[in-house]
Amino acid sequence: MSRIEEVLRQDVFSRDDIIRLLSAVEAEELEMISQAAGRTLMERCSDKVYLRGLIEFSNICTMDCLYCGLRKSNQKVNRYCLTKKEIVAAAYECAANGLGSIVLQSGERRDASFIDFVTDVVREIKRQTVSEKLSDGLGITLCVGEQSPENYRRFFNAGAHRYLLRIETSHPGLFKKIHPPRQRLESRLRCLEVLKEIGYQVGTGVMIGLPGQTISMLADDILFFRDIDIDMIGMGPYICHPDTPMYKHHQSVDRRRNEIFRRSLLMIAAARLVLKDVNIASTTALQAMDPLGREKGIRFGANVVMPQLTPAGYRGDYLIYPGKPCLNEGNNECRIRFENEMRSLGRAVAIDQWGDPKHFITRTKKTRGNGPASYESLAEQRLNR
């Protein structure tokens, strides 16, 4: 029996096991891992693929992440913010087309007018999308960065029930290398903790292929997701944007392109095998690297896709990384293509459903005393490792 077969026979995986999974290269090994992840998904979740209409409502950002094309220092970006009417219309279109949930994503702003705007938009979407099939309106995931506990509470009370806040890496040293000094991992971890205390379904994720990132760091990312008891994961390959400081690494990143793509799929599979009942997105960045990237993500254990529902005229201005797919397609065209892709993989597309992660239901049954350790203490442990 091969070492991979031995690893896959287990139900609980050690750090070494995860490193072994992430190191797989041979086609036969990759197939075994993908099949094992698929089995876990079927046993612990279902065959359903959940759709989240992605509305990137503003590319204005006050942060300066060194890898991101939308960073505030990038003067070449044509900045926009959709009106409330435009966002609600896009959300309404999602609901009318059977997408039970949306993701409202933007750059990070903390000013009062932005917070009021987001709160108002969430409330209005909820009000306008109640129907026979969606008795509580659309499911709403917010992805608007680090905010104060009070603002997170305002969004929650307005009707948002999921929140995505990616940490990009759980390794404190690597985090420092890809962010300016004022952006701190500890602060992001604290936000994740607050989001959970408020009652959100909480998602996070990392980039794969960052300069200086090792397989051990990625294995620690998976263990980090497990230890903080996360509900949702969104991970994708690192793709260099030419108008960012990290572009200086583009030659070495380009050389590792195949490895980065393969490892991104393996990260999805490893997260599925270790965390089992969480929702995992097959992200757009995978499709940017490979036209079939999103289907491959589903084959490796993902169960969420996020069709692009940003009004077509704005999509080209929301470029965290270059090569983003679906820029020129009509909304309906994008969605139909997704559904066909999923059917061809033998997976059912969930229509008019929120598609909440099973993990959220399980973890909310736990008493607080049995809950996860403090996120900051976990970061500290990693620093000392």
For ligand SF4, give the closer residue by CB, 110 or 256: 110
* Choice between 108 and 356, CB closer to ligand SF4: 108
d(CA 12, CA 273): 8
Angle at 346 between CA 7 and CA 306, to 5 degrees: 85
Q: How far apart are CA 331 and CA 309, in angstroms?
A: 6
Which of 65, 82 has the CB closer to ligand SF4? 65
Of positions 36, 54, 68, 185, contacts ligand SF4 by CB under 6 A: 68
Nearest distance from C-beta of residue 227 to ligand SF4, angstroms: 24
Q: Give yes or no for residue 145 binding ligand SF4 (CB under 6 A).
A: yes
**For ligand SF4, which stretch binds (CB under 6 A), given 60-68, 115-123, 250-258, 331-339?**
60-68
- State the minimum distance, in angstroms, from the CB of residue 7 to ligand SF4: 34
Q: How far apart are CA 313 and CA 328, in angstroms?
A: 9
DSSP-assigned letters across all residues of 35-95 = HHHHHHHHHHS-SEEEEEEEEEEE---S---TT-TT-TT-TT----B--HHHHHHHHHHHH
Complex with ligand SF4: residue 13 or 163, whichever CB lies closer: 163
Angle 69-74-80 from CA coordinates, rounded to 5°: 80
Restricting to residues 97-126, name those near ligand SF4 by CB under 6 A.
Answer: 107-108
| Exposure of 139 in the CB half-sphere (CA atoms within 13 A) | 22
Angle between helical axes of 215-227 and 15-22 (0-180°, round to 10) = 130
C-alpha to C-alpha distance for 121 and 113, rounded to whole angstroms: 12
- In whole angstroms, the minimum distance from the beta carbon of 46 to ligand SF4 comes to 32
Secondary structure in 3-state letters for 179-248? CCCCCCHHHHHHHHHHHHHHCCEEEECEEECCCCCCHHHHHHHHHHHHHCCCCEEEEEECCCCCCCHHHH
Stretch that binds ligand SF4, among 44-52, 66-74, 111-119, 325-333 (CB under 6 A): 66-74
Q: Determine the 3-state secondary structure of 12 from DSSP.
A: coil
Alpha carbon distance 303, 281 (integer Å):
6
What number of chain residues touch ligand SF4 (CB under 6 A)? 10
* Binding pattern for the stretch 308-347 against ligand SF4, x by CB under 6 A and - elsewhere: ------------x---------------------------
Nearer to ligand SF4, 77 or 309 (CB): 77
Rule CB under 6 A: say whether 56 interacts with ligand SF4.
no
Q: How far is the CB of 136 from ligand SF4 (least distance, A)?
A: 29
Work out how close the CB of 173 gets to ligand SF4 at its nearest, in angstroms, rounded to a whole number: 19
Q: Which stretch binds ligand SF4 (CB under 6 A): 25-33, 47-55, 59-67, 339-347?
A: 59-67
Binding of ligand SF4 at residue 71 (CB under 6 A)?
yes
Enumerate binding residues for ligand SF4 (CB under 6 A).
Answer: 61, 63, 65, 68, 70-71, 107-108, 145, 320
